[in-house]
Structure 1
Amino acid sequence: MLSIMLQMLMFPFEAESVAYCVCSSFGLDTSDYSFPYIAGWSSSREMKEMKASMDVIRKTAGEMIDQLTEELEIILEEKQKTELHEKYGILVDALEAAGYRYDYRESEPGHIVLAPDGTHEIAGYLQFESWGDIKDWLEDTIAEGTDISERVDRALYPFKFDYTLEEEMFRGNGDRYAIYHVDEGTPGKQHLFMNMAMVKEDGITIDAANYKCVYSGRLHENEKMDDLYAVFNDNPPADYKAHSMSVSDVIITNRGGDMQAYYVDRFGFAELPEFAAQREKILDIVPEIENVDYENDLTCISFYAAECAEFPVMGEVHYDLTLPEALEAYEKIPSERMHGLKCVGFDLKDGSDYEGMQSLMIEGKIQKEFLNSIPGFRENSYVQNAISRVEKYLEERHPNVENPLESNKKVDNEKNISEEKNEKELNIQMKPIPKKKRGEMSL
């Protein structure tokens, strides 16, 4: 390129001729200026000299036209993408979730062409007459019940799903993986694209708080880390919008409940023992536990019965009980004791931020509304199971116990009536004494 630039400086004729050819190729007419200049310069040149210049002009103009054409096509495609998303955004996202991209170069009105991504190359291109036909095809894809069906369903109907694909991985909903990139708005930027040797040398700690999830999907049988690396480098899915997998990225896999995290290193992968747990804590995931013996399992939650709900250590208290044992002990504590309101509570020991002792039932009134106002209790299967069992206990043992909410309303109403009465009495007492007329006597 430097030699070409030097030639242009040496031969203004060639530069002007190249400019004319390039501009003409893109519909810009510069003949009024270019022709007189070119004619004046070439009139005193020999044919041999002219031929050499023509070769330079043809080659240089061709290269510039090719480069500009490519760049203009990119600009035009980006413009088309913007317009397409404004009009068919959800459908575009859904067809990408299905593994296809809208072919901007081949598509035209009445003839829509979809190009397959790397994982769907064997299926070839798809062609449709309208976006309505594409919508029908996407609905059929959902009905097939495949791995792709889930992605398409989420793209078309996101409101149907309570959890993200990443959250589904942590909840153990099938074998899955998730890919994480350094969030450049965090301190993690300091180790972006650094291999593990450099990370250790600089004393950097890999923290999940400095990462963001960019993609999550199903982990297929026999699919290994190298396979994922190849896919997200050579043939990424159509709905993958991040950079190709690189050093400093992290992959979490969950295969059969075995959660593993790996740092993408310069060669291979380095294990990150704490990363998955850190990410799970960030997401505030409460695992859905199956086949738990809620009746007798005291490893994650135990119960107590106390004479005083506010200060359990005051008076009679019984710790480390099953719920039936705690309810039985509660029944035996006399209500007339003066230490406070007797209660049944739980001691959560699940490793969460909500560990510790908490009242479950006070004087026959379950604390459901309060407990469910706290996410850590509302989403904890042990706590929710305990609430259900105490509700059943109250229904069976104390069918006439007032609904605590209604009872509170009743108390509030009585309080309001009493306050109104007192206020009236106070108003009567505070009415100004009328001035007596001269000579008038008070009786």
Structure 2
Amino acid sequence: MSNLAQKRILLGITGGIAAYKSIELIRLLTKAGAEVQVVLTDGAKAFVTEMTLQAISGHPVRSTLLDPNAEAGMGHIELAKWADLIVIAPASADFMARYAQGMANDLLSTLCLATEAPVLLAPAMNQAMWRHPATQANAKLLTQRGVLSIGPADGAQACGDIGPGRMSEPNDIFNAVITHFQGSTIELDLTGQHWVITAGPTMEAIDPVRYISNHSSGKMGYALAASAIARGAKVTLISGPVQINAPAGANVIAVKSADDMLAACEQSMSSQADVFIGAAAVADFKMKTATNQKMKKQSDTDEVTLTLVKNPDIIATLAQQKRAKIMVGFAAETQNLIDYAKGKLERKGLDIIIANDVSRADIGFNQDDNQVTVITQDKTWSPDKTTKNALAGQLVECIIEFSLRTSIS
């Protein structure tokens, strides 16, 4: 069961182009078992529709301060007592200013004053607005009052500016929510540790236009990086080409080929790492010789022969070199899952292997959910199917437990 099961989250959406990202955040929260109710400001209605948010959350969307359909017309008090956590994403500069001044002139601002639940802000605004002394003073004041926050991120903005002010990605906000509910049960027990994690596919060039690759999205490796960071680890994330944003705090090294990935791993682990997780889907083969020019069709044949050679076995190489105290690998299989995974555990000299059935359409490559079997020399564990974000937390916990168990024994 996810650690968000039965948690009640009130999601406030204020006016801003980042409001569309809140749809994905609701989906992540509800899939993890949380119950989500949405409150819109008038400005937010210009960017997202109540019908969409109701369909995703499964609850009517609220936006009126005195709702005649709510109990005794005091829906804001009812909602304020209902929530275990209030998340405001995006939180506009206007809302932060009104919240800092204790104003209660719409439903969302009133809820924030009436609730005893924690409030988590995900600011989103133009970079100049974020840098303005008034906004910075409001953010500081809210933090001093115990209001939680995540972001904003730095990067390109809808207006064309570049700088801090982008709302944190839904996946990062989701992980912040998980960390919050773990509360005192989560310790920064990985502080001082260095974890190296590979993620995504590799791309092996055939010519300047074509390449050999696979369907890996990188979601599992990125979720593992976020979970390790949340527990205090320094994380180096060595990633093949993906279309997702890296978790805040990760040292990301972008690579393409298996040779590039191995070189980056060895350089990052020149001093022995505490944990290595090989979550990347590394291509088994590469061209013996990639051509410098685009290969042209031959009019006299319907076939072409490519000469392939094996890629380096990154995990086995690093394990043989003892680059990390704990070596964790993934086995992506379509048949004989457990037997093949156990064979890789022995053959590659790993401490833990995580077996993944990629023949299933509902988990694995390009999916948000996953189900795995964790195998060590003396133990096998199969957690329930869940989101990759929730699973990542369970896997990090498993690695920590393995470390403690083996160090004691």
Alignment TM class, shorter chain as reference: under 0.3
Q: TM-score, normalised by structure 1?
A: 0.23
Greater fraction of residues in helix: 1
Q: TM-score, normalised by structure 2?
A: 0.24
Larger radius of gyration: 1
Higher relative contact order (CA 8 A, sep 6+): 2
Greater fraction of residues in strand: 2
